[in-house]
Amino acid sequence: MKNVRLINILTKKINACRKVEINFIAKNAGFKNTDVVLDIGSGDGYWTNYFGKMCFKMFGIEPYEEHYQIAKKNYSNECSFYLSSAESLNFLPESFDKVISVCVFEHLYNDRTAFKEIYKVLKPGGKLLATADSLSSKHISESHRKKHIKECYCAQLYTVEELSNKLSEAGFRNINAHYIIGSKLGIFYEMLSEKIGAVSYFLLLSLYPVILFMEREFKTSGYKIFVEAEK
């Protein structure tokens, strides 16, 4: 069991495109040692714990029991985890300085409700920082988009305009949404990982620093979107 966990941690560490997303959030969040932060869709807790080291207190919500239990077992000393959905946040209004989320919004069947819930629990002036699937690039075929939606259980994919409009409807202001992971190499990396799984991270390990370098800036189109917005 310990070996399984170590392998899981290693695959997260060497997933180049995921690290691109993490870097955009970390770079733009401006975390303070007084911040109380909520992670929407904390999964097994690995990245929640990663961000938790940058702030005062980290909370994570996860709708799936299995992932919630893993996070609680491995990281409960550093973070607080709750079995909950983004559409129904059981926290008092104005509880958090920042809310983060890594590739969760595309899976929400009621994203407008979730955005209103996130807005509610943020303190005035608080920030949302998140990534979401887009697959907007001309290098991505329509057949792959449909396959991605089906196999990754997506309720929707976003354009920067669509995501910005939904956040604006929820009350957010100063919304900045940008495409990320837009190079041919970055898109190839994402598509291969979807096709053959985590083994691709090992096969393409030599490309890790190359992708981090190539994908460090915003793009005109991309596999994903990074967004920040303020209450």
* Helix ranges restricted to H, 46-98: 46-52, 65-75
Pairing of strands 173-180, 224-230: antiparallel
For the domain that residue 10 is a member of, what is the CATH number?
3.40.50.150
Mean pLDDT of the chain: 96
Instruction: Quote the pLDDT of residue 6.
Output: 82
The DSSP call for residue 42 is -
| Domain enclosing residue 157, as ranges | 2-85+94-230
Instruction: Quote the pLDDT of residue 2.
Output: 64
Query: Residue 86 pLDDT more than 70?
Result: yes
Mean pLDDT of 130-146: 96
Sheet holding 122-133, edge to edge: 80-83, 57-62, 36-40, 96-102, 122-133, 224-230, 173-180
Query: Residue 123 pLDDT more than 80?
Result: yes
Torsion region of 187: left, alpha or beta (phi above 0 gives left; psi -120 to 50 gives alpha): alpha
pLDDT above 90 covers a percentage of the chain that reads: 95
Q: 170-219 pLDDT, tens per residue?
A: 999 999 999 999 999 999 999 999 999 999 999 999 999 999 999 999 99
Q: Tell me the pLDDT band of 1, cut-offs 50, 70 and 90.
A: low
Distance from the first to the final alpha carbon of the chain: 42
Torsion region of 7: left, alpha or beta (phi above 0 gives left; psi -120 to 50 gives alpha): alpha
118, 225 contact by CB (below 8 A): no
Quickly tell me which residue has 């733009």 as its tokens: 28
* Global pTM value: 0.96
Number of domains in the chain: 1
Instruction: Quote the pLDDT of residue 7.
Output: 80
